[in-house]
Structure 1
Amino acid sequence: MFSKGQIVFGVLFAIAFILVLIRMYRKDLKLHKAHFKGVPWVLLAFLGFIGMIVAIKVIFK
């Protein structure tokens, strides 16, 4: 399947990638707060919509 070297590379790459993502997000945090104020409400609406679809599916099954 995968050699030991490929697994080590994959794990190290994933760790490095995640660390870079976190660092860049924290660097841009002030901009995110200024430009994306309503994002939690959009997420809540989306999750509510998915919940309604699941509820309708369960009720009419």
Structure 2
Amino acid sequence: MFTTGQLIFAALFVVCFTIVMVVMYRKDLALHKMYYRGNYKILLGFFAFIAILFLFKFYMKH
């Protein structure tokens, strides 16, 4: 299905991409702590909204 070269490229790409993402996240960690304080509240609100939609869907189905 894939050639050996394509598989090697994909593996190297995934490894390099992951390393770069970790390095960049650690570099920006101080900014994240300063500007994105309290973002867990928004995430909880989003999950609550999705849960309410599912409950409403199941309620209307029965």
TM-score range normalised by the length of the shorter chain: 0.7 to 0.9
Task: Count residues with an aligned counterpart.
Answer: 61
Return 5+ residue gaps in structure 1 as ranges: none
- 1:7 aligns with 7
Q: Cα RMSD (Å) of the superposition?
A: 1.1
Q: Sequence identity of aligned pairs in percent? A: 43
- After the TM superposition, list the runs of 4 or more consecutive aligned residues in structure 1 that deviate by more than 4 angstroms: none
- Map 1:1-61 onto structure 2 (within 5 A): 1-61=1-61
Post-superposition offset of 1:28: 1.1
Return 5+ residue gaps in structure 2 as ranges: none
TM-score after normalising by structure 1:
0.88
TM-score after normalising by structure 2:
0.86
User: Partner of 2:37: helix, strand, or coil?
Assistant: coil
